[in-house]
Structure 1
């Protein structure tokens, strides 16, 4: 059975257009399948914001998908390096590895490391009906990694009304997009289908970021009677894109095409020209189709069973470099006057030619290895993923209902490296595989996604270099919820338990009989509860609390990229509390939330470089016991002072910091000898990589039934650089007054976005829509994120707006624009 939910406008940010609002009432109903746990206004006691399809279609433009959430409290999304789909998002100071991302209630975070690669979902904005972010505990019944929150993306249903769409869009830097979709509507026999296909290509704002991506979506629905509903969907987004993988120093942004007042924000150190064509050392390419079959069964009026079986097959990877030229990586070699990589000269040196400023001539031309000659390789991260989620809900009375369910998953990750370009060499000599040493590799493979990702490994072990291993994660979970509701009160208690099984198979570091690690099982659980009380039709209050014991990620189970099991493996602990207040009226709506989250026994793999007997040594520490505290206050509101205008706003103030000083031992990579040990002096240090103060104010104007425009100003402050805790190591032999690096506070910034749309109705079923968006209208120059923490220099000439120019940063994009025309029929 389809579950139909409606929500109050107070939890939504929407465009004031004739397609979005026809009356002063709740936004259009959202049709969902039963496994998706969607928060309901004045009922579910969690902090929530929801973006509707019309807003995504109108306002996203050529921005990255997560950026549409930047106008919601405690969310900080950036484009990161700026490659197509390379964006990232933080919720309440927690990165996306610790924020659960779900599609129609199905988890999609990588089961090994929790990562979310938005390039895999680059076409998701085309098929999204609504996008809801639940901050904090969230309403999902599953034992998911929602330390910061849950982002649930709801895709269009097969039985949407009969309609077709053709869309063409253009934007800055050669961006262009074309899309076609069609929905059949539901037939008299209960069948319905929906289809979409799109292509996006061009370049992103940064130099050297060409890309091409496709998106396909097909849904088939069958509703034979009032008791059963079936929905099958498959979607995928094969894409490739050149990346800006490494942050450059502020000095380089100024040196290569910039000025002191305006650094060259487009600068990218990872690309150049090869034979006159744009060439990138770092290319990402992937195809990850996801298919699911939903079955909703109304057993009786009081009992319902909702199930979804799903599968995902990912194939692809990301390229980088192997080798050195006279001990220098490709990023350290002399560059052109514009700061580009001289790939033609790299090829020349590889083949024995003289390149004067590269140093000594290659003594083994055409033969490269890890220390002599440079080639391009690709790190393959493929997987097969299967899962089943089923939940049984029984309504004991009008006020009391219970849900129990099962969540099972299996994930097989395949990780290895292959060569993609020998760059003039004939072979690459690899000694990583003890079972085939040395290995002379001459085969190379294209950095383009395959349209047929099904099957096992796509490359023979003899073509692999550096490493080759599989990561296997099995998941068995159960969950339950008891919910009590009346007109005024809704309360729930919820719990889940899961067992994760881990195993690692290494094909290069071990002989065949020893390649499989032991199997490791780890139990995790959570319990949470909350209540919402509607004081009257205007006021409501809620509270929730929860305790999580979350299994660590795969890298914490097996140490040092080997089959060695961590003897001190322990779960991470999360305690969260939240209070909320809501106000509703016909003109003004607002939400106020207070939250506190303690995240303890965090596992971190830290690296440090030290000189031991005048030799650089890389040390690795697997540290447990790190603790973070995240507290804050959030406000969002909307007001409709007149029929033609809606004003939206939000404010969030966070206080996120480390607590305590855990001990650490740094072990040398090759010998496993302890090279450093001491205390990580973290207590009180600010958690970085996301703005702890954000605010937004926007207005949507519907001047007529056919013309609208909108504006939004967004502000970010208390933004600290990403911080490597290993830099705060204090050894027993260090002086008590040793100066340790601090997190660098980056300059605040504000951005103005504008948009306008028009509609021309040809008849009752056909219409043209026109849309223009301009982001960062004032062309603000700002730092979106920093990887390093060098303090301001005493010589002000070495600083930029108070930030040391030696820091490695990503500047935010300058002014960008896009325009589109859509024909609906």
Structure 2
């Protein structure tokens, strides 16, 4: 046994060395050239402007975890309110989370419902064979053709969600007599209009895999898998309750409008990340296996945006266009904005916005006319559509040794090496009829004289003329390199089962600018230098089988995580500066649990506590007090996560089950953060203190409860679930919690304590969901018909996320605005009644 372990360890080392050599060669930091349920895009929340909050968590031994992902997905539920970066996704043992943000984009596997059914999911303190499980759990998808169910599978679906039609075909050959297995799949999803007006969807997904099993005892297996998901979709924007009221529609979308009588969306996402894996499985003997996967992706992501140049904001829900900007409907004491003249303005705006849907949408024809007039005078475009790109190339090697030392002991050992380059840049998508546009910072014209170097986005190419498809404003690469070694050990001592695991490694990151910004002529073009962080995590867990169906468990972990590159740079669009005081996160997590399993009842209850400090966060906002866009870094954050989660599954009869599950949790900031922000029109930095202690994690219900009944018998499947959601916080704005701002506004009590605004919440509520299906066995194959309906009672007032606006209720000169940004957060609301009818034929 020891000899075989040494041999396997040598193989791991050599595979790592080979990887390092292939990435090197003078190209430093650059890459050479359905589990238990099925998710749809409407549940996953693909949109770039909506945080991807769904976490796939599923464990066959846990009633709560196995059901919560699907049941609560319509409100974008996050497991324990953790950031998505704390949930790790693997394919064939290779990590797939985005290396810059740390998060996994579910659109990477969009449309691969049939291929993602074969997965292994582990909860935070469960063991697995591919890595130390993450704080929010880990999932490993098996894309090997030999492990996919043999045969053909054809399905068609109609829905009123993100897409309205879907067709899926997949084929798996199984292992033939010559040791080959093949797998292929094709999915098309489409909508000329999604559930939300102005949105559309057009996506083609493909999957191809081949595997060869070698050796007389099938000791070796080589598999190659490639897939992709080219997608174009029009997105939805958040809006204020005033805008929803004016439109009489909780799904009002300000991102679209009419052009020559046709609908056009200003925020169109194009995404395509062709990916490939090569996996070698070496069955050393019946008790030992070595798995090595080399893979990568070439990601292409872009999102358009309507922008403007020295003119009025063209957004149809811009605050100056709304009735409440004329008459202050929120503050009775604001007599200066509650006059008869103000009321006349309110009435005029109300009548205009309610007279026609077109008046509440982008007026593309007006923008073209304005640009034509500007061009006639020799001026640059007043309005244009830009396209923001983030194209990531990634290469990863993962190698894992799994060994059963004996019947009571297992040992896993692995290494992971990964490198990525993400190219961020902006291109001109559409000049909207204008004839010229120059690559200069027009927002800084009030600070610097025309022609000043400070106005140039690129001093290497001053006053460059920008045409369709040309790069402007910013252009840079972010490089990230990661390396880890990990091991886990489990042993059973009678009724006690123990787990010990450790992961150690490091991350490096750097920036390489392609433009010499006029505000930072000596610190924007070229390399930034490299920031390096060591990382380590240790984990212990115990499970006691007390007999008669009773099981008790407990676990604890502690570690240091590197900050992600997405928050590591102060203003990556402008310069090479790293965030000041950038440190590793310190992460502690713990859990105790109880499970009861009998012939009629399966029950789980868990309590958890996690504490994370030295957290770095980063947000860009418009800051009225400096009359400029600002890039804000928040450092020294600390957060507490704690709560109780439970699941009960009562077997009422052979056909009926009654299920209850839910969580009551807390996820709040434990201290005040340090603030440093950049004035983007002056190129200067300022510091402050953010009084965010007590703010909550946003965009997920902290209270979520469900009761359901299921009937499964004779090929019939009927499920009905009532779900209740509460304590859904909106993303808080730092503006009204800056210490200097509060002092300026006089928000200080008699004891010299700052008066901090409470965080806005969205309305929760009750939602009824159900499904009915039938499996029919035919002479050749089987037919299944399934209808899923979400929000049967059409409760459209449940908030699924949103954010407080980050602007002031006063102008930069101190005059009070009639419009109150502080009283008008932007929100997303849950879809009303929606569903999907799916028909599948397997043969």
Q: Is residue 569 of structure 1 aligned with residue 582 of structure 2?
A: yes
Structure 1 residue 420: Cα displacement: 1.7
State how far apart, in whole Å, the 1-side matches of 2:189 and 2:734 are.
40
Q: Calculate the aligned-residue CA RMSD, in Å.
A: 3.2
* Distance change in 2, residues 1:322/1:610 (3 Å): closer
Counterpart position of 1:648: 659
State how far apart, in whole Å, the 2-side matches of 1:365 and 1:269 are.
30
Counterpart position of 2:224: 232
Counterpart position of 1:439: 464
Contact 1:89-1:95 at 8 Å conserved across structures? no
Q: Is residue 527 of structure 1 aligned with residue 516 of structure 2?
A: no
* Distance change in 2, residues 1:804/1:773 (3 Å): farther
Q: How does 1:275-674 map to 2 (within 5 A)?
A: 275-324=260-309, 326-331=311-316, 332=318, 337-338=356-357, 339-352=360-373, 362=374, 368=380, 372-431=381-440, 432-444=457-469, 463-486=470-493, 488-509=495-516, 514-561=525-572, 562-606=575-619, 610=623, 616-674=627-685
Counterpart position of 2:732: 723
Counterpart position of 2:19: none
Counterpart position of 2:337: none
State how far apart, in whole Å, the 2-side matches of 1:680 and 1:778 are.
42
State how far apart, in whole Å, the 2-side matches of 1:817 and 1:635 are.
28
Q: How does 1:148-159 map to 2 (within 5 A)?
A: 148-155=136-143, 157-159=145-147
State how far apart, in whole Å, the 1-side matches of 2:547 and 2:717 are.
35
Q: Is residue 208 of structure 1 aligned with residue 224 of structure 2?
A: no
Counterpart position of 2:208: 218
Q: Going by fraction, where is helix more abundant, 1 or 2?
A: 2
State how far apart, in whole Å, the 2-side matches of 1:768 and 1:401 are.
42
Task: Give CA-to-partner distance per residue, 1:589-627, whole Å, 9 cap, x none.
Answer: 111111000010110224565555xx6244444221111
State how far apart, in whole Å, the 1-side matches of 2:571 and 2:565 are.
12
State how far apart, in whole Å, the 2-side matches of 1:62 and 1:319 are.
21
**Stretch moving more, 485-494 or 328-337:** 328-337
Contact 1:609-1:619 at 8 Å conserved across structures? yes
Structure 1 residue 341: Cα displacement: 0.7
Alignment partner of 1:535: what SS? strand
**Stretch moving more, 472-481 or 98-107:** 98-107
Contact 1:78-1:89 at 8 Å conserved across structures? no
Q: Is residue 809 of structure 1 aligned with residue 827 of structure 2?
A: yes
Alignment partner of 2:361: what SS? coil
Instruction: Return the match for 1:111 from 94, 99, 122.
Output: 99
* Distance change in 2, residues 1:599/1:434 (3 Å): same
State how far apart, in whole Å, the 2-side matches of 1:97 and 1:124 are.
22
Instruction: Return the match for 1:252 from 225, 243, 250.
Output: 243
Task: Give CA-to-partner distance per residue, 1:766-787, whole Å, 9 cap, x none.
Answer: 2222221211110002221131
Alignment partner of 1:306: what SS? strand
* Distance change in 2, residues 1:481/1:69 (3 Å): closer
* Distance change in 2, residues 1:816/1:156 (3 Å): farther
Q: Going by fraction, where is strand more abundant, 1 or 2?
A: 1
Q: Is residue 691 of structure 1 aligned with residue 716 of structure 2?
A: no
Structure 2: segments with no counterpart, 5+ residues: 1-33, 46-53, 322-352, 441-456, 810-820
* Distance change in 2, residues 1:365/1:481 (3 Å): farther
Alignment partner of 1:519: what SS? strand
TM-score, normalised via structure 2 length: 0.79
Instruction: Return the match for 1:189 from 178, 184, 201.
Output: 178
Counterpart position of 2:31: none
* Distance change in 2, residues 1:605/1:76 (3 Å): farther
Contact 2:485-2:505 at 8 Å conserved across structures? yes
* Distance change in 2, residues 1:188/1:314 (3 Å): same
Contact 1:556-1:622 at 8 Å conserved across structures? yes
Structure 1: segments with no counterpart, 5+ residues: 1-51, 259-263, 353-361, 445-462, 794-802
Q: Is residue 712 of structure 1 aligned with residue 712 of structure 2?
A: no
State how far apart, in whole Å, the 1-side matches of 2:407 and 2:126 are.
24
Alignment partner of 2:117: what SS? strand
The count of aligned residue pairs is 716
Task: Give CA-to-partner distance per residue, 1:682-715, whole Å, 9 cap, x none.
Answer: 333333322111111222213423x332211211
Contact 1:76-1:691 at 8 Å conserved across structures? no
Contact 2:805-2:824 at 8 Å conserved across structures? no
TM-score, normalised via structure 1 length: 0.80
* Distance change in 2, residues 1:664/1:172 (3 Å): closer
Contact 1:53-1:129 at 8 Å conserved across structures? yes
Structure 1 residue 326: Cα displacement: 2.2
Structure 1 residue 422: Cα displacement: 1.7
Contact 2:88-2:104 at 8 Å conserved across structures? no
* Distance change in 2, residues 1:396/1:108 (3 Å): closer
* Distance change in 2, residues 1:580/1:366 (3 Å): farther
Contact 1:127-1:156 at 8 Å conserved across structures? no
* Distance change in 2, residues 1:397/1:820 (3 Å): closer
State how far apart, in whole Å, the 1-side matches of 2:378 and 2:182 are.
55
Task: Give CA-to-partner distance per residue, 1:2-40, whole Å, 9 cap, x none.
Answer: xxxxxxxxxxxxxxxxxxxxxxxxxxxxxxxxxxxxxxx
Q: How does 1:70-81 map to 2 (within 5 A)?
A: 72=64
Task: Give CA-to-partner distance per residue, 1:563-610, whole Å, 9 cap, x none.
Answer: 123452210111011111111112211111110000101102245655
